Copies of this chain bind each other. A is one copy, B any other.
């Protein structure tokens, strides 16, 4: 917009070539501080001696008086369109494995932590806190979209509650003392007490209670959020599996009575099952203790894994499963079917559901107006999913010792395109690879933004293939000599299944059109 205006006003007799325009597009702002005449000379100048002089001139102009001056009024005619974003280049991805080889920070304690640190998905900060780096964050954002879809499907509505929770709220529920050292506490400048919410039963009950005339017709009401939670763990460990700061999806339900609340409870549990199924995970739902959340019924969703911190008992006969916390010590016979034997196994807890009854709604007077037009206490449930934990736990249970395998639909990128090594016989195929990485993203809606180009062409194909294997891209496309033939073909490695095939462009497009993305 602005740039166009500048070009017009200046009526340049010596318009820069297209290539230069793109280099000089940064000038639009600067131009506004220069008279048209000066601008004209300036542009002319730039045209001749780009890019070194341009940047030097720009530099001075910027230093002198950089500021864009005019008020930009709402553009009525042409609003800028969505920007075109080229395929990410592996050489530019901020994924410290690229930057720093061989070194690893911190104590390695489990497979997912080691793999995630090694491949530059996360970087350690304070104990139990991590930087989530670009590739991991992409995966997490997909996971959040998947969770959003499933929460919406059962009527969930997404909200966002403050992390700062007033001590008053927690005193009302009696949990201010109960939570002990696990809760981060602080004072504000007026010496008012707060905690950093590890969970939000109090806050959501207060929100519900503030609405004084909620009709029974509006229930069940399911409110959820995906936010950062805080827990001052004694010993944070296993990377994202037990951190002090992590992302959690927490849903809270309000129902007219126990019966309805249990139906809602059931519907959320089903939804959790669907989420883990869509991720392709093996999971088990076990009877669990209610801990300091409270309530009368609780289940955990566990991924069986050796490094799991939870001890589970599973009946070989009827399949009854429970966290060992809920069982009598030394119990070996299943009380459910009375015939089976309980076997111990270990799991990583990735979800936890609670039927709360009136524990919080009573304390906060979370009332609705019932069919007889009388205020009544809502029955509540609460439902957590560890978002960052699911991310790490998936890697933990699906990967091999030295290569990540992602749940297909949340892999950070679906496709990695490998051009030939610089100077090799197939050198000319480099252009084919570049075009391919662009055209796949443009022609297949499911691959928009999903294709990366491994442009580190100073490295051999073999070395880059090894990296691609460690990073677990579901599809790796090698563009070599055969891409230059009359009927070009491409080597495709499907890392989820382990298959390798040679495909024509059409075959490749057909295969990749089936890649599942969220």
Task: Using CB atoms and an 8 Å cutoff, list the residues of chain A in contact with chain B.
Answer: 1-2, 25-26, 28-30, 32-33, 55-56, 58-59, 62-63, 65-75, 79-80, 82-85, 91-94, 96, 99-100, 103, 105, 123, 125-126, 129-134, 137-138, 140, 149-150, 152-153, 155, 157-166, 181, 184-186, 188-189, 192, 194, 196, 203, 207, 210-215, 217-218, 221, 223, 227-228, 230, 232, 234, 244-245, 258-260, 262-263, 265-267, 269-270, 273-274, 276-278, 280-287, 297, 299, 304, 314-315, 318-322, 336, 516
Contact = CB atoms under 8 A, between A and B. Distances in A.
A386 B234 CA distance: 35
Contact of A282 (B74, B196, B207, B283): B74
B212 A100 contact: yes
Nearest to A314: B71
Contacts of A320: 65, 67, 69
Contacts of A304: 71
Contacts of A188: 184, 232, 244
Contact of A281 (B74, B131, B185, B228): B74
A467 B437 CA distance: 48
A93 B62 contact: no
30 contacts: A32-B319, A33-B336, A55-B260, A58-B262, A59-B259, A62-B266, A69-B285, A69-B321, A71-B283, A71-B321, A72-B273, A79-B516, A83-B153, A85-B153, A91-B217, A93-B157, A99-B211, A99-B212, A103-B212, A125-B161, A125-B162, A126-B162, A126-B164, A126-B166, A134-B158, A140-B160, A162-B245, A164-B230, A184-B186, A189-B232
Given A270-B29, A273-B2, A319-B71, A155 B92 contact: yes
A59 B258 contact: yes
B73 A273 contact: no
A67 B263 contact: no
Contacts of A234: 189
Contact of A160 (B105, B131, B185, B194): B131
Most buried by B among A69, A100, A265: A69
Contacts of A161: 125, 131
Contacts of A269: 29, 68
Given A69-B320, A186-B186, 19 more contacts: A29-B269, A30-B266, A55-B263, A59-B263, A62-B266, A68-B269, A71-B282, A71-B321, A75-B277, A79-B280, A83-B150, A91-B217, A99-B212, A99-B218, A100-B211, A103-B212, A123-B210, A126-B192, A164-B244
A155 B92 CA distance: 9
Given A55-B263, A207-B123, A263-B55, A69 B162 contact: no
A260 B281 CA distance: 47
A106 to B, nearest CB: 11
B267 A72 contact: no
A94 B163 contact: no
Contacts of A322: 67
Nearest to A103: B212
A92 B26 contact: no
A26 B267 contact: yes
A203 to B, nearest CB: 7
Nearest to A224: B134
A140 B321 CA distance: 41
Contacts of A26: 263, 266-267, 270
Contacts of A2: 273
Given A94-B221, A130-B162, A210 B258 contact: no
8 tightest A-B CB contacts, nearest first? A83-B153, A69-B319, A129-B162, A186-B186, A132-B160, A70-B319, A68-B285, A134-B157
A345 B111 CA distance: 58
A181 B80 CA distance: 41
B315 A69 contact: yes
Nearest to A267: B26
Given A123-B210, A263-B58, A163 B163 contact: yes
A515 B269 CA distance: 37
A160 B186 contact: no
Contact of A262 (B63, B82, B194, B280): B63
A196 B189 CA distance: 14
A402 B102 CA distance: 62
Nearest to A254: B94
A69 B149 contact: no
A261 to B, nearest CB: 10
Contacts of A315: 69
